[in-house]
Structure 1
Amino acid sequence: MAYHIEKHPAFEALKLDLEKKIVKELQSFNFNKKSNRLNILYHYTDLSGLKGIIENQSFFSSNSAYLNDKKEFHYGVDLFKSAISNYNILNEYQKKIINEIRKELDNKLESYHFVTCFSLEGDLLSQWRAYADDGKGIAIGFDLKNLVEAFNPKASGMLIEYNDQTQKQAVDKIVQTTVSFYESKLSLLESINQEHLYDVIAQEANEIFNKYIGQFKHSSFKEEREYRFDLSIDNDINKARELSYRVSSNNLLVPFLHLKTNLQEELESRKKSYPEEPIDVSLKKIKHKVKLLPIKKLIIGPSLDFELNKKSIIGFLKKNGYSENIEINQSKVPYRI
């Protein structure tokens, strides 16, 4: 919509109900099934990235339109556009809902998703080359369960789906569930005298779609076996968060946000309110299960001196509150530059 419409509070409650229905409908899909093998996530970075992540207890969360897949954001949007175009309209009410949703999707030209990417694989040559300084970096292995806890609820964790057919089936299910849901609530919604009712329904539907657009990528990227955390914001970003910018390795000025652990955010907030309070006192007053980013293991890149880096990394981890017992391995990839 090109203009702002004040929404009745009932829409927020309805959206929560719809989200639950969609989650239930998608339970049978592999990307939503929990696996006992899915317990470590690897983040590839250079040594400067490792230093910043540990010292700041945060990651860069980059705008999804600037990632390695140039069409990634539009790929997800196009899946929903296709589902809308192929929707089997049965009555005039559905026709109105579909038409307004289509208009919203056609106006979706900019990504408001900021993502931090991980892989289920900790020693992939393609990842070393692309994200870890051409093999001169490191893969940080994090405990998935505790990493989700560290960012919940501000960032949503999701396993990426690469299969074309599965993507289509899932998106069709999301669209069908959404349209049917709002059609079933029309009597209620008409009774509250909502201005521009079908425009608002379309906006609500697209907010639902936004949660899934980033979960689908082209099959050519399937080797990455990606898991990501998605930090979504609305158009009026400066009300809540301030964008930063960095220069990427492929010479793009990339907008990003800082994805901080809940503990780190609260520590920084207390520091502003109580600047003289010692850090150990603050930590005792803040109740969070995850105190540090949950590092389980590290894999040192194939183009680095393993023994020297292992020795300094152990000291660096200890200085920043980590156990000396974190597993540190050398990459098995036979790649040197």
Structure 2
Amino acid sequence: MANKITKLFNIKYPIVQAGMVWNSGWRLASAASNSGILGLIGAGSMYPEVLREHIQKCKKATDKPFGVNVPMLYPNIQEIMDIIVDEGVKIVFTSAGNPKTWTSWLQERGIIVVHVVSSVKFALKAQEAGVDAVVAEGFEAGGHNGRDETTTLTLIPIVKEQLKIPLIAAGGIATGRAMLATMILGADGVQVGSRFVASAESSANQAFKQVVVDAKEGDTQLTLKELAPVRLIKNKFYQDVQELYAKAASVDELKALLGRGRAKKGMFEGDLVEGELEIGQVAALIHDIKPVAEIVDDIMKEFEEAKKQVANL
């Protein structure tokens, strides 16, 4: 299946495995790449030398293209970028920051740059900054959420209307039907996150994976907009956040509750009570934990079947 995205990344299918904090280590990224899609290591939960180790292990585990997702709000960003260049990574997805800061620097070193956005305004800023492609992520997603709560169904055609570079859809995509739907709306490919959390190769704690599988409609909620909007499973920590909101808490009070390591505690260590459990709305459609290769196969089979059904409408 050749198109703009498969050609840009030199992959078989126009699917990107999202680089999620505490979920996307070298095992997930290499398994994704070996399955014909683009695997991403999530640098957001890694110290620089830990990232280096994951990149090196990923290179040994796959001879296919893979990349690194880098949230740009971290203080050691220069060290992270230097490691990416040193280790010969050729694809970087940036998020949570100004794409002008790093795009040219990375491209001058032979690296393809993709930026994650949540609105047409920021998609156009990313295009102006010279990125090679944009990921537009709707309100349904677990992370990288926008404060405007624009859904994927609405966001993709709005962005497509004005964007000239390749567009990757994200947010609420875990099936072949959703992949086809967003591509009909104008996307050139998709980024899938939550479905790969519930994979055998994800670095998420098994207890968190099971919570994702057990999630039903309405079990998640977008919150913490004053800090960085995320969609959370409604556990005790989430309820504590809501109680602070009910008291008209300040940003400092929210930061104090969040503290340090809350996401690690929940998703990586499996504290389902006090941990931050980030996942997309589409968790309600995820019913099992499978190897990445099977997930990709399921998505592509459903995608092809859905194309035939659409043709017969």
TM-score (norm 2): 0.26
Q: Which has the higher contact order (CA 8 A, sep 6+)?
A: 1
- Larger Rg computed on CA atoms: 1
